[in-house]
Amino acid sequence: MTKPLFITSAVFVSLMFCGCVINPVTGQKQLILISPAQELQIGAQYAPEIEKQLGGRIENKTLQNYINSIGRNISRISHMPDLDFSYVALKSDTINAMTLPGGYVFVTKGMLEKLDSEAQLAAILAHETAHVTTRHAAWAMTTQIGVDIVLSAISQKTSAGAANMARIGSQLGGLKYSREHETQADTVGLDYLVKAGYAPFAAVETMEMLQKQNEVRPIEFLSSHPNPGNRKEMLLRQINLRLYPKNLKIKRSDYHRYVLMNLDD
Ligand SMILES: [Zn+2]
């Protein structure tokens, strides 16, 4: 695991309280210099910043409620069923989805336009949910920005504080996970997808879509994610190894009705 480049006193203090934790998903020890309570605080404070930077919320209640309910059905069967997750659609035309520590998941209009079924949406949300439950988001933030920097920007109530919030907000929006983390999020996400009742092949379809779109022009989501071709192969291997129940949900018409038909409002 990558060590932070600097350990300030604030981080050192938090290290004493929440240094090594057992990852609820993998059961392995994980060094995270941030407590779950701090994750919540950071998520709550920076969520509006991410929303602003990605064009604000799509102003259609039907669409937002639908996306949030699909996401919440996934979080309910996840490793963190009691965390108050929120799933929000933003107006940006870039093809992207991301998460903040504490259970804040965002998906862009650009991404929603390219999906074709509820199961595909669920696959994207399940992957992002897995980044939260495996605490990758907290790990990435700690190692790439530094929790003391993130927390200090929140506590500054000046214009310099606002500028820092904006700068750190865009860093949070572009957090990169390791290849190992992405594989883990794909594996855990696939489990969540099926547990929530959706056809696992939908996850493969989203990889095919990303691959195709990236040939048209490089897409945002892939600046922080590994090659979708490799991810697709890995997902296919996992799907072929298991026996899944038959007749799992795809729900194309619901997706068209609640999302695609409401995107232009
Ligand atoms: Zn990811």
Four-CA torsion 201, 204, 210, 212, nearest 10 degrees: -90
31 neighbors 20 (Cβ within 8 angstroms): yes
- Whether 25 has a pLDDT exceeding 80, the answer reads no
Q: Which of 206, 33, 35 is nearest to 107 (CA)?
A: 206
Who's near 5: CB < 8 A, 6+ residues apart? Answer: none
CA of 177 from ligand 1 middle (Å) equals 7
Domain borders along the chain are 38-262
Which one has a higher pLDDT value, 151 or 50? 50
Per residue in 160-216, pLDDT (tens digit) is 778 888 888 888 888 888 888 899 999 999 999 999 999 999 999 999 999 999 888
- Confidence at residue 227, expressed as pLDDT on a 0 to 100 scale: 86
CA distance 115 to 123: 10
CA of 156 from ligand 1 middle (Å) equals 31
Phi, psi of 99 (to 5 degrees): -140, 150
Of the pLDDT bands very low, low, confident and very high (cuts 50, 70, 90), residue 24 is low
- Confidence at residue 19, expressed as pLDDT on a 0 to 100 scale: 52
For helices 36-53 and 147-155, give the axis angle rounded to 10 degrees: 70
- Confidence at residue 44, expressed as pLDDT on a 0 to 100 scale: 92
Which one has a higher pLDDT value, 119 or 177? 119
- Whether 251 has a pLDDT exceeding 90, the answer reads yes
CA of 157 from ligand 1 middle (Å) equals 32
CA of 57 from ligand 1 middle (Å) equals 21
Token pair belonging to 87: 């799933």
- Whether 52 has a pLDDT exceeding 80, the answer reads yes
- Please tell me whether residue 250 adopts helix, strand or coil conformation: coil
- Whether 2 has a pLDDT exceeding 70, the answer reads no
